[in-house]
Amino acid sequence: MCRLSVNINKIATLRNSRGGNIPNVLKAAIDCQEFGAEGVTVHPRPDERHIRYQDVKDIKPIIRTEFNIEGYPSRDFLDLVKEIKPDQVTLVPDPPGAITSSEGWDTVKHYDFLTDVITELKANNIRSSVFTDTNHTYIEGAKKSGSDRIELYTEPYAIKFIDDKEAAIAPFRDAAIFAGSIGLGINAGHDLNLQNLKYFYENIPGLLEVSIGHALISDAIYLGFENAIRLYLQQLS
Protein backbone atom coordinates (compact mmCIF):
# COMPACT_ATOMS: atom_id res chain seq x y z
CA MET A 1 0.00 0.00 0.00
CA CYS A 2 1.23 3.47 -0.91
CA ARG A 3 0.16 6.36 1.29
CA LEU A 4 -1.13 9.64 -0.12
CA SER A 5 0.18 12.55 1.94
CA VAL A 6 -1.45 15.85 0.98
CA ASN A 7 0.81 18.89 1.09
CA ILE A 8 -1.33 21.82 2.28
CA ASN A 9 1.20 24.61 1.67
CA LYS A 10 -0.93 26.08 -1.11
CA ILE A 11 -3.87 26.43 1.27
CA ALA A 12 -1.64 28.58 3.47
CA THR A 13 -0.38 30.56 0.45
CA LEU A 14 -3.94 31.52 -0.41
CA ARG A 15 -4.70 32.47 3.19
CA ASN A 16 -1.56 34.58 3.49
CA SER A 17 -2.28 36.45 0.26
CA ARG A 18 -5.30 38.10 1.89
CA GLY A 19 -4.58 37.93 5.61
CA GLY A 20 -7.04 36.59 8.13
CA ASN A 21 -7.82 32.90 8.34
CA ILE A 22 -9.62 32.03 5.10
CA PRO A 23 -9.05 29.35 3.95
CA ASN A 24 -8.46 27.76 7.32
CA VAL A 25 -5.28 25.69 7.33
CA LEU A 26 -6.30 23.61 10.36
CA LYS A 27 -9.61 22.72 8.75
CA ALA A 28 -7.75 21.71 5.60
CA ALA A 29 -5.55 19.35 7.63
CA ILE A 30 -8.60 17.84 9.33
CA ASP A 31 -10.42 17.51 6.01
CA CYS A 32 -7.48 15.68 4.43
CA GLN A 33 -7.91 13.01 7.05
CA GLU A 34 -11.71 12.96 6.82
CA PHE A 35 -11.55 12.62 3.04
CA GLY A 36 -9.26 9.58 3.20
CA ALA A 37 -5.69 10.85 2.85
CA GLU A 38 -3.21 8.83 4.88
CA GLY A 39 -0.93 11.75 5.63
CA VAL A 40 -0.55 15.52 5.81
CA THR A 41 2.62 17.27 4.65
CA VAL A 42 3.78 20.80 5.41
CA HIS A 43 6.93 22.60 4.31
CA PRO A 44 7.65 25.64 6.48
CA ARG A 45 10.23 27.97 4.98
CA PRO A 46 12.26 30.65 6.78
CA ASP A 47 10.16 33.52 5.37
CA GLU A 48 6.91 31.71 6.32
CA ARG A 49 5.38 32.71 2.99
CA HIS A 50 2.97 29.79 3.17
CA ILE A 51 2.99 27.42 6.15
CA ARG A 52 4.06 29.24 9.30
CA TYR A 53 5.88 27.70 12.23
CA GLN A 54 2.82 28.38 14.35
CA ASP A 55 0.68 26.44 11.84
CA VAL A 56 2.90 23.43 12.38
CA LYS A 57 2.44 23.67 16.14
CA ASP A 58 -1.32 24.07 15.76
CA ILE A 59 -1.67 21.14 13.35
CA LYS A 60 0.20 18.61 15.48
CA PRO A 61 -2.56 18.05 18.10
CA ILE A 62 -5.24 17.43 15.47
CA ILE A 63 -3.31 14.94 13.34
CA ARG A 64 -4.54 11.35 13.63
CA THR A 65 -2.76 10.15 10.52
CA GLU A 66 0.88 10.56 9.49
CA PHE A 67 2.44 14.01 9.85
CA ASN A 68 5.34 14.75 7.50
CA ILE A 69 7.34 17.98 7.82
CA GLU A 70 9.59 18.92 4.92
CA GLY A 71 12.31 21.50 5.01
CA TYR A 72 15.92 22.56 4.91
CA PRO A 73 17.49 21.49 8.22
CA SER A 74 18.46 24.87 9.60
CA ARG A 75 18.77 25.15 13.35
CA ASP A 76 15.34 26.81 13.63
CA PHE A 77 13.79 24.01 11.56
CA LEU A 78 15.42 21.29 13.62
CA ASP A 79 14.33 22.93 16.86
CA LEU A 80 10.78 23.02 15.51
CA VAL A 81 10.63 19.36 14.49
CA LYS A 82 12.22 18.24 17.74
CA GLU A 83 9.46 20.09 19.58
CA ILE A 84 6.67 18.75 17.35
CA LYS A 85 8.04 15.22 16.84
CA PRO A 86 6.22 14.40 13.59
CA ASP A 87 6.16 10.89 12.18
CA GLN A 88 8.59 11.86 9.45
CA VAL A 89 10.94 14.68 8.51
CA THR A 90 11.84 15.01 4.84
CA LEU A 91 15.13 16.83 4.37
CA VAL A 92 15.31 19.04 1.27
CA PRO A 93 18.29 21.08 0.06
CA ASP A 94 16.32 24.27 -0.72
CA PRO A 95 18.14 27.56 -0.20
CA PRO A 96 16.09 30.07 1.82
CA GLY A 97 14.66 31.95 -1.18
CA ALA A 98 13.73 28.95 -3.33
CA ILE A 99 10.27 29.06 -4.90
CA THR A 100 10.02 25.29 -4.76
CA SER A 101 12.29 22.26 -4.51
CA SER A 102 14.33 21.93 -7.69
CA GLU A 103 16.88 19.18 -7.04
CA GLY A 104 17.84 16.44 -4.65
CA TRP A 105 20.72 16.38 -2.18
CA ASP A 106 24.29 15.78 -3.20
CA THR A 107 24.69 13.34 -0.35
CA VAL A 108 28.40 12.95 -0.98
CA LYS A 109 29.21 16.64 -0.69
CA HIS A 110 26.87 17.09 2.28
CA TYR A 111 27.46 13.70 3.90
CA ASP A 112 28.78 14.97 7.24
CA PHE A 113 26.03 17.57 7.54
CA LEU A 114 23.25 15.11 6.74
CA THR A 115 24.71 12.49 9.06
CA ASP A 116 24.69 14.95 11.96
CA VAL A 117 21.12 16.03 11.20
CA ILE A 118 19.80 12.49 10.86
CA THR A 119 21.56 11.44 14.06
CA GLU A 120 19.73 14.27 15.82
CA LEU A 121 16.39 13.15 14.35
CA LYS A 122 16.98 9.54 15.36
CA ALA A 123 17.74 10.65 18.91
CA ASN A 124 14.22 12.10 18.92
CA ASN A 125 12.60 9.00 17.39
CA ILE A 126 11.73 10.79 14.14
CA ARG A 127 11.84 8.89 10.85
CA SER A 128 14.02 10.60 8.27
CA SER A 129 13.70 10.83 4.50
CA VAL A 130 16.26 12.47 2.20
CA PHE A 131 15.06 14.22 -0.96
CA THR A 132 17.20 12.82 -3.78
CA ASP A 133 17.60 12.36 -7.50
CA THR A 134 17.89 8.95 -9.16
CA ASN A 135 21.70 8.96 -8.97
CA HIS A 136 22.74 5.72 -7.26
CA THR A 137 25.73 7.34 -5.61
CA TYR A 138 23.50 9.91 -3.93
CA ILE A 139 20.99 7.24 -2.91
CA GLU A 140 23.77 5.20 -1.37
CA GLY A 141 24.98 8.34 0.39
CA ALA A 142 21.53 8.76 1.93
CA LYS A 143 21.73 5.22 3.26
CA LYS A 144 25.23 5.74 4.68
CA SER A 145 24.13 8.95 6.39
CA GLY A 146 21.59 6.91 8.35
CA SER A 147 18.38 7.92 6.59
CA ASP A 148 15.39 5.60 6.81
CA ARG A 149 13.98 6.57 3.43
CA ILE A 150 14.54 8.62 0.33
CA GLU A 151 12.00 10.80 -1.44
CA LEU A 152 12.57 10.62 -5.18
CA TYR A 153 12.39 14.05 -6.84
CA THR A 154 9.92 13.38 -9.64
CA GLU A 155 9.82 16.59 -11.69
CA PRO A 156 12.05 15.04 -14.42
CA TYR A 157 9.59 12.14 -14.63
CA ALA A 158 6.62 14.49 -14.95
CA ILE A 159 8.29 16.48 -17.73
CA LYS A 160 9.27 13.44 -19.82
CA PHE A 161 6.03 11.54 -19.15
CA ILE A 162 4.10 13.60 -21.69
CA ASP A 163 6.21 12.41 -24.61
CA ASP A 164 7.61 9.03 -23.54
CA LYS A 165 6.29 7.22 -20.48
CA GLU A 166 8.86 4.44 -20.53
CA ALA A 167 11.84 6.77 -20.91
CA ALA A 168 10.40 8.86 -18.09
CA ILE A 169 9.92 6.01 -15.64
CA ALA A 170 13.05 3.94 -16.41
CA PRO A 171 15.57 5.80 -14.20
CA PHE A 172 13.09 6.02 -11.33
CA ARG A 173 12.28 2.31 -11.48
CA ASP A 174 16.00 1.54 -11.51
CA ALA A 175 16.62 3.91 -8.59
CA ALA A 176 13.79 2.36 -6.58
CA ILE A 177 15.11 -1.15 -7.14
CA PHE A 178 18.57 -0.04 -6.03
CA ALA A 179 17.23 1.82 -2.98
CA GLY A 180 15.21 -1.20 -1.92
CA SER A 181 18.21 -3.48 -2.34
CA ILE A 182 20.19 -1.46 0.23
CA GLY A 183 17.34 -1.23 2.70
CA LEU A 184 15.90 2.23 2.07
CA GLY A 185 12.19 2.97 2.09
CA ILE A 186 10.93 4.84 -0.98
CA ASN A 187 8.79 7.97 -1.08
CA ALA A 188 8.26 10.26 -4.05
CA GLY A 189 7.02 13.74 -4.81
CA HIS A 190 7.03 16.83 -7.03
CA ASP A 191 4.72 17.39 -10.00
CA LEU A 192 2.90 14.08 -9.63
CA ASN A 193 -0.69 14.55 -10.81
CA LEU A 194 -3.82 12.74 -11.97
CA GLN A 195 -2.31 12.12 -15.40
CA ASN A 196 1.03 10.59 -14.36
CA LEU A 197 0.55 9.21 -10.83
CA LYS A 198 -1.00 5.83 -11.63
CA TYR A 199 1.73 4.91 -14.11
CA PHE A 200 4.38 5.92 -11.61
CA TYR A 201 2.78 3.88 -8.83
CA GLU A 202 2.40 0.80 -11.02
CA ASN A 203 6.04 0.88 -12.08
CA ILE A 204 7.90 1.75 -8.87
CA PRO A 205 8.46 -1.30 -6.66
CA GLY A 206 8.25 -0.71 -2.95
CA LEU A 207 6.72 2.77 -3.17
CA LEU A 208 5.56 3.67 0.34
CA GLU A 209 4.34 7.25 0.08
CA VAL A 210 3.70 10.08 -2.36
CA SER A 211 3.50 13.69 -1.22
CA ILE A 212 1.32 15.82 -3.50
CA GLY A 213 0.30 19.42 -3.02
CA HIS A 214 0.34 21.84 -5.94
CA ALA A 215 -1.45 19.62 -8.46
CA LEU A 216 -4.00 18.28 -5.99
CA ILE A 217 -4.94 21.71 -4.64
CA SER A 218 -5.15 23.06 -8.20
CA ASP A 219 -7.47 20.19 -9.16
CA ALA A 220 -9.56 20.87 -6.07
CA ILE A 221 -10.47 24.30 -7.45
CA TYR A 222 -12.43 22.59 -10.22
CA LEU A 223 -13.26 19.22 -8.67
CA GLY A 224 -13.71 20.06 -4.99
CA PHE A 225 -11.28 19.14 -2.23
CA GLU A 226 -12.88 15.86 -1.19
CA ASN A 227 -13.35 14.67 -4.75
CA ALA A 228 -9.78 15.57 -5.69
CA ILE A 229 -8.36 13.57 -2.77
CA ARG A 230 -10.52 10.58 -3.62
CA LEU A 231 -9.44 10.70 -7.27
CA TYR A 232 -5.78 10.73 -6.25
CA LEU A 233 -6.41 7.81 -3.91
CA GLN A 234 -7.92 5.90 -6.83
CA GLN A 235 -4.66 6.24 -8.74
CA LEU A 236 -2.94 4.39 -5.89
CA SER A 237 -5.42 1.52 -5.70
At residue 132's C-alpha, the angle toward residues 74 and 54, to 5°, is 35
Q: Is 54 exposed, middle or buried (0-12, 13-18, 19+ CB in 10 A)?
A: exposed
- Is residue 190 annotated as a catalytic residue, yes or no? yes
Report the alpha-carbon distance of residue 129 to residue 151 in Å, rounded. Answer: 6
Known catalytic residue at 136: no
Check 50, 66, 70, 209 and give the catalytic one: 70
What is the Cα–Cα distance from 137 to 135, expressed in whole angstroms?
A: 5
Query: Residues 43, 66, 151, 209: which is the catalytic one?
Result: 43
Which residue of the set 50, 151, 190, 209 is catalytic?
190
Rounded to whole angstroms, how far apart are CA atoms 173 and 134?
A: 9
Which residues face 42 on adjacent strands? 69
* 99-136 residues labelled b (16+ CB within 10 A) or e (exposed): eebeebbbbeebeeebbebbebbeeeebbbbbbbbbbe
Longest dimension (CA), the chain: 49
E strands, 13-138, are: 39-42, 66-71, 88-91, 127-132
Q: Is 110 marked active-site?
A: no
Read out DSSP for 205-233? Answer: TTEEEEEE-HHHHHHHHHH-HHHHHHHHH
Q: Tell me which residues are annotated as active site.
A: 43, 70, 190
